[in-house]
Amino acid sequence: MTIYRYLYSPRGAGYRKYLRGPGKKKRATRKSHSRIHNQTMIDQRPEEGESRKVAGHWEGDTIQGQTRKEACVVTLVDRVTRFADSGLPCKTVTVDNGMEFASHAKLQKKIATPVFFAEGRNPWQRGTNENTNGLLPQFFPKKTDFAAHSSAQLRWAVELLNNRPRKCLEYRTPKEMMDSFGFALAS
């Protein structure tokens, strides 16, 4: 935080251009009538999901284009392996408090998996997903209308991310990590 405080001070302004993305914009807070009801908070998530020792505990979010009318993309990332995909065994899903997850009860029923919510304004509680979402602008610039991209283009980006060595995985790829947990992945 000290470094960022300096960068956002008048003396550090010249160094901001070296940051990965633009500074965060403050948003107006949500009105009380639009809160999500019956949330199960992250502190109730099983210890197994918190420990990062067992694959199958996912973090999710959505990435939206410039306007709310455009298509969006749902991102799911395994907490342990950093694998970005769906259709694999799922034990828990942790999401943010976005209104796109207001129908979480229907989602839980459909995927037969408990959905947990991170505390408001605490993105580090879903850090794996936030990090992966930060990598996507390398493939799709900010404010991209995802309706203009085919599912094949999205799959291509996911494939590249899943085959990229990660320092946090001791320079193994997310795909190699999923293989090490015994999940059969299509090549």
Output the CA torsion 44→104→150→65 (10° steps): -90
Contact 136, 63 (CB under 8 A): yes
- The residue length of the chain stands at 187
Specify which of 5-19, 37-51, 55-69 reaches the highest per-range mean pLDDT.
Answer: 37-51
Q: Helix (H, G, I), strand (E, B), or coil: what is residue 116?
A: strand
For the CA atoms of 89, 92, 98, 100, the dihedral, rounded to the nearest 10 degrees, stands at 40
Distance CA 180, CA 68 (A): 39
Q: What pLDDT is attached to residue 84?
A: 95
In this predicted structure, what is the pLDDT of residue 59? 96
Average pLDDT over residues 139-163: 91
Whole-number average pLDDT of the chain: 88
What's residue 55's pLDDT? 92
Q: What single DSSP character describes residue 118? A: P
* Boundaries of every domain in the chain: 36-180
Average pLDDT, integer, range 178-182? 91
Just give the CATH number of 36-180.
Answer: 3.30.420.10
Closest CA to 75 of 130, 112, 146: 130
Give per-residue pLDDT as tens, 25-44. 666 665 555 689 999 999 99
Distance CA 105, CA 144 (A): 29
